[in-house]
Amino acid sequence: MNKNAWREKFLLNEDLNFLLTNRIPRVAATRFMGWFSRIQSPVLTRLSIAVWRLFTDLDLSEAKQQSFQSLRDCFTRELKPGLRPFDPDPAVVCSPSDAIVGACGPIDGTDVLQAKGFPYPLRELLRSEDMAQRMQGGRYTTLRLTSAMYHRFHAPHALAVDRVTYISGDTWNVNPIALKRVERLFCKNERAVIECRLPGLGDAPLILVPVAAVLVASIRLHWLNILLHLRWPGPNVIPCAASMAKGEEMGWFEHGSTIIVLTPPGLDPVPGIESGVRIKAGQALLRQRADGSQAGQSEAV
């Protein structure tokens, strides 16, 4: 059996996949990986990458550097300049990261979906009834980053960051198998709620929620200059005053995980954006309606 056939057999065996990625001491395994990934050893790093490639389609041809001192350096690698251009149209909100599109749709009511038949309350994800109400009438888009993908994420539009709320939690895997089995998974895992405004769209609200997962429980946000992780003591609510240009790097995960993008009313998905589609950072995700309605007009207050 060749490598790809073996890998596909493992990935498609849902019971085995769930057992090996979730029925383990998740937090302990995640802390161990955090320690292991920082070991400075080119030889160990090359061996680790070779093992990593047994389970993924890891492609480092776009990486700015081709040799790494640690596994963490590979996880958080930069790309060669110009490989992720952002759509310059001010009416377009772009994908903040490379990803596979997961559940997505309108925010109509109190719940959104993590997978078919598996809703979760938006207020529980955000830990705020007020924030959930502000996003009513908008859209949610779930972006899943696989472990082999580029792990940095960028501003999807010119924006101002007002507040970050760090929520410590569990480290369930966030692959489709787990999303079909673990209720309210995104509400259980470690995450950061990044509250933004879109000055170019009437100061309409936009919220990004990077969600950590098993083996990845560290989120770096550049403007905070701290590493948010399971042992970080807080404070949990961090006021900000950061402005970012469209496409500017916001931060990174230290492995692979999920970003939930909550956008205001008045934006519709561009053709082709649907569950299961692979997209890249900078690709158009949503567009302001052609009828001229402003994104901020119908937002809840």
Q: Active site includes 257?
A: yes
Neighbours of 136 (CB within 10 A): 17
**Residue of 48, 70, 95, 257 with catalytic role:** 257
Q: Active site includes 98?
A: yes
**Residue of 37, 48, 73, 98 with catalytic role:** 98
Fill in the DSSP letter of residue 158: S
Q: Active site includes 154?
A: yes
Distance CA 276, CA 245 (A): 28
Local structure of 15: helix, strand or coil = helix
CB contact at 8 A, 210 and 196: no
Distance CA 207, CA 49 (A): 34
**Those residues with Cβ within 8 angstroms of residue 208's Cβ, 6 or more apart along the chain or in another chain:** 96, 153, 156, 194, 196, 250, 259, 260, 261, 262
CA 104 to chain centroid: 14
**Residue of 70, 95, 154, 218 with catalytic role:** 154
Hey, which residues are catalytic here?
98, 154, 257
